[in-house]
Each structure stands twice: as C-alpha cells, then as structure tokens.
Structure 1
C-alpha cells in the first residue's frame, strides 16, 4: 500500500513537472512573439516617419504634412528638367556680356568640361562678340528631350530650334545635340543631382531667315 502510494506520488510530481515546463515554454513563446510584434511595429513606425516631411508654412503658425516620395520615383522627370535648365542657361542669351558670363557660370555647375569647351569654341569663333555688336537676342525653343534611363551614364538626345532675333529679321537654326547624365550630389547650384557629360552639338545649321515684322504678325 505504501509502495503504491509512493508510486502515485512520484507520478503526480512528474506530471506536475511536465505541466510547469509546458507553461514556462508557452510563456516564453508568448514573450518572444510579443517582442517580435513590438519590434515590427517599431520598425514600421520608424520607416513611415522617414517618408514624412513636416513643413512649416509661411505664417509660422501651422504645420503641413507632406509625404516624401521614393528617391528614384521622379528621376526621369528631374533628368529632363536638368537638361532643359542647362539648355536655357546656355542658349538663351541677351546682348549683355555680364549676363552671358553669369549664365555660363550657372550652366557650368550642371555639367563637365565639355560644356566649357563648347562655350570657349563659340567665343573663339567670335559668336558672342557678334551677339553684342549686333544687339542680337538668342532664344532656344526645345522640341524634345529623349532619355534612356536603363543604364548609367544615361544617354540623352536633344532636338530644338535656335532663334537669333535682330532689329530687322529673325534667323531660325536647327539644334541637334546629345550628352550623357550621371547621378551626383544635390547642391544649391545643382538641385536635380545630375552632371552632364560629353555634351556635343551635332547639327546647328540655318533653317531660314524671315522679316521680324512678318514673324511677329504670324505669331
């Protein structure tokens, strides 16, 4: 009788031990799951906070919430605008030497030495002297900017027209050019974060010259 009692007692202890161990295991498993869930929420909140920009409006009294887009979401649009900005700086010129030099300085921030070489080549040929002496305004009309963003450096093709506006007539010129773009650090002088490489003009031939009054009347 005593032996049988001791056996049942030992069985009860063993059963209790397994039961306690199961409870401890489930408790640890629950704690691990809870810790994982907290870590996930923390990561999610941190990631979402990085995608938000809080902007103080001009009144200084309210805050507007703006969602930040992925860095590469608008890169093709930024690349095209980078090229268009350069073209306007380089080819929109007034008969003012100071204004020409300032435009060229800003244009140089957007590309490599190929831009400077093209400027120096035009200057050596007396192009800017003719602008100043003839009181000529040069304007660019950009028709298209083609871009291949499939691999870096990004190839870019340019089709445009150049207008040389004089007192009595306007000369239209064809402008075909190409270049490559590489990613760069954004700065105040280069907000899009691109650098133009190997810029070259492949066609800058005259199309026609018309009377200025005629162009203004038809325009």
Structure 2
C-alpha cells in the first residue's frame, strides 16, 4: 500500500511539473506575441511620422517622405509661406471673409506683422474699396517662386508672384514681391507646418498691366 501511495504522489508531482511547463510556455508565448505587436505598432507610428503632405498649387497633394527631417523642412517652409500669402491677399468682396482670412493668417504669422499690414491697408480704405468695387482678389504664386534660406534660424525667405484683381470691367495684374523670416514653433491644427512668419514686409506691389473685359464677359483666362 505504501508503494501505491508513493506512486500516486510521483504521478501528482509529474502532473504539476507538466502543468508548470505548459503554463510557462503559454506565458512566454503571450509575452513574445505582445513584444511583436508593440514592435509593429512602434514602427507603424514612426512610419506615419515620416510623411509630410504639401498642397501642390492647391490642386493635388504631394507626399514628401521625411526620411531626413532637414530635407522636408524646406518644402514645408515654402508651402507655409504660400499659405500665409494666400490668406493675406486672396480676398473676396466680403467683410466677414476678409476678417476670417486675416484672423487665420495670425496663426501662421506673428500678430505684429499681420496686424500692422492689416491696419495700414484698412486705414487707406483698401478693404472698403474691394467690397464697394466688388473686386475679387487672387494670388498666383508657385513654390518655385519662393526661396527660403534654411541654413540658419530665423530662416529668411523671399517670395515672388502675381496679385490679380478681378473687376466687372477690367482685370489688374500686380507684382507681388515680399520677404520675411520663419521661426520654428509647435505644430497645431491651425499651423500644421510648425512655422511662424515674422518681420514680414511687402517689397513691391506695383501694377503690371490692366486688361479690359467685355461687358458681357463673366470670365477671363489669365
């Protein structure tokens, strides 16, 4: 009977050893699985951060792979400058639209630069002339027309393009030559590129030409 008793104890002990081995195997497998998932998730997040989307002339989205941060910042800087200029100068004869565009511009440029320009134009009656004259103001500027010096912060930029004022009787084309500086700031929903324009200055905004429109013409291709 003692022999049977010891055989039973040995069998129970073997079962416990087998159970421990199985449990340890399961725990190791779960930890390995969790490690693989964590590694995959980390790589996915890092890969998503390596993409920068830049609007290409407002028509399509250009995907810039940010394998090197220094390579993509110039592209973001140019798009930031163009977005800033469109908010400042691409206006409709609507007071609410003008105020909303200027307010949005303050997210991309410091208020000193934006408010100074806005106040100066407003005091000259510029915005009232747009509204009363039913003038639609557009900005034509290519990324190739924007130069940014990224070797030292603040980053100096200069941008050249055209400003088009569309009236019922004619279209006036103006030269648009501006300069300023960019500083790095935190990215936000209102400032996705993480730049801020400062010391903004209009260098040249002279009329280039005025094109008469036919009285019954609704559109003019420029």
SS state of the match for residue 51, structure 1? helix
Q: Judging changes above 3 Å, is the alpha-carbon distance between structure 1 residues 148 and 185 closer, same or farther for their aligned structure 2 residues?
A: same
Query: Which residue pairs with 1:149 in the alignment?
Result: 150
Instruction: Check if 1:197 corresponds to 2:192.
Output: no
Give the 5 Å matches for 1:97-108.
97-108=95-106
Query: Which residue pairs with 1:115 in the alignment?
Result: 114
Instruction: Check if 1:162 corresponds to 2:157.
Output: no
Task: Give TM-score, length-normalised by structure 1.
Answer: 0.68
Give the 5 Å matches for 1:196-215.
196-213=197-214
Question: What are structure 1's unaligned runs of at least 5 residues?
Answer: 1-43, 55-66
Query: Which residue pairs with 2:32 in the alignment?
Result: none
Query: Which residue pairs with 2:180 in the alignment?
Result: 179
TM-superposed CA distance for 1:175, in Å, is 1.1
TM-superposed CA distance for 1:50, in Å, is 6.0
Residue 52 of structure 1 contacts residue 68 of structure 1 at CA under 8 Å; is this kept in 2? no
Query: Which residue pairs with 1:85 in the alignment?
Result: 83
Task: Give TM-score, length-normalised by structure 2.
Answer: 0.67
Residue 180 of structure 1 contacts residue 197 of structure 1 at CA under 8 Å; is this kept in 2? yes
2:47 to 47, 52, 64: 52
Query: Which residue pairs with 1:3 in the alignment?
Result: none
Please give the alpha-carbon distance, in whole angstroms, between the structure 2 residues aligned to 1:218 and 1:105: 30
Residue 176 of structure 1 contacts residue 204 of structure 1 at CA under 8 Å; is this kept in 2? yes
SS state of the match for residue 108, structure 2? coil
Question: What are structure 2's unaligned runs of at least 5 residues?
Answer: 1-38, 50-64
Please give the alpha-carbon distance, in whole angstroms, between the structure 2 residues aligned to 1:51 and 1:83: 27
Please give the alpha-carbon distance, in whole angstroms, between the structure 2 residues aligned to 1:133 and 1:173: 20
Structure whose alpha-carbon radius of gyration is higher: 1
TM-superposed CA distance for 1:72, in Å, is 3.7
Paired positions, count = 164
Please give the alpha-carbon distance, in whole angstroms, between the structure 2 residues aligned to 1:136 and 1:98: 15
Q: Provide Cα deviations, 1:101-120, integer angstroms capped at 9, x if missing partner.
A: 00111011101111210111
1:75 to 56, 73, 76: 73
Q: Judging changes above 3 Å, is the alpha-carbon distance between structure 1 residues 68 and 146 closer, same or farther for their aligned structure 2 residues?
A: closer
Please give the alpha-carbon distance, in whole angstroms, between the structure 2 residues aligned to 1:78 and 1:88: 15
Please give the alpha-carbon distance, in whole angstroms, between the structure 2 residues aligned to 1:183 and 1:152: 8
